[in-house]
């Protein structure tokens, strides 16, 4: 890896790690509000800009010789973008896992011991490029109080 690329990735990772500390302490209401705003944005003018940018990307991808199957996976239209927004709203409807007590027991000496869900911090995900997977992965990481570096 070149020094420039190493510096770029290291910088992104450090910023994501810093953000993870903030996300770990975000309330359910804050996380859900961000997800709702993202869904609303995708259904509005920001979504139109995403579709326009995707059209330019698709032309470049065709010129690069990507297969029809890959082009189809990368293609965004209003219907697909609305489905991504619906997915974000589905994540809003999920219970917040942070702080959930998943197991508790009392030891013979009376000490109560339990397992509580907590954010991991920074998650890295490498996956096949699909716009919906990007939104799904990012929204689930946000909901669970984690920062994420995505490479699709």
The CATH architecture to which 3-151 belongs is 3-Layer(aba) Sandwich (3.40)
Q: Which two structure tokens, joined as six digits, stand for 150?
A: 């995505």
Strand 147-151 and strand 122-126: pairing?
parallel
7-62 per-position pLDDT tens digit: 999 999 999 999 999 999 999 999 999 999 999 999 999 999 999 999 999 999 99
70-89 per-position pLDDT tens digit: 999 999 999 999 999 999 99
Q: How far apart are CA 28 and CA 34, in angstroms?
A: 10
* Helical H segments across 2-143, by residue range: 3-24, 28-43, 45-63, 68-74, 78-93, 131-143
């Amino acid at each position: 890896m070149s020094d420039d690329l190493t510096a770029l990735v290291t910088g992104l990772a450090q910023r994501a790690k810093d953000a993870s500390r903030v996300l770990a302490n975000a309330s359910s209401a804050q996380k859900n509000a961000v997800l709702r705003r993202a869904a609303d944005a995708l259904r509005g003018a920001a979504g139109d800009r995403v579709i326009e940018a995707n059209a330019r990307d698709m032309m470049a991808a065709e010129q690069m010789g990507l297969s029809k199957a890959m082009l189809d996976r990368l293609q965004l239209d209003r219907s697909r973008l609305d489905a991504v927004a619906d997915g974000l709203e589905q994540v809003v409807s999920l219970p917040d896992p942070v702080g959930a007590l998943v197991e508790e027991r009392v030891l013979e000496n009376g000490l109560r011991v339990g397992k509580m869900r907590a954010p991991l911090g920074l998650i890295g995900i490498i996956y096949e490029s699909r716009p919906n997977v990007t939104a799904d992965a990012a929204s689930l990481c946000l909901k669970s109080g984690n920062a994420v570096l995505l490479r699709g």
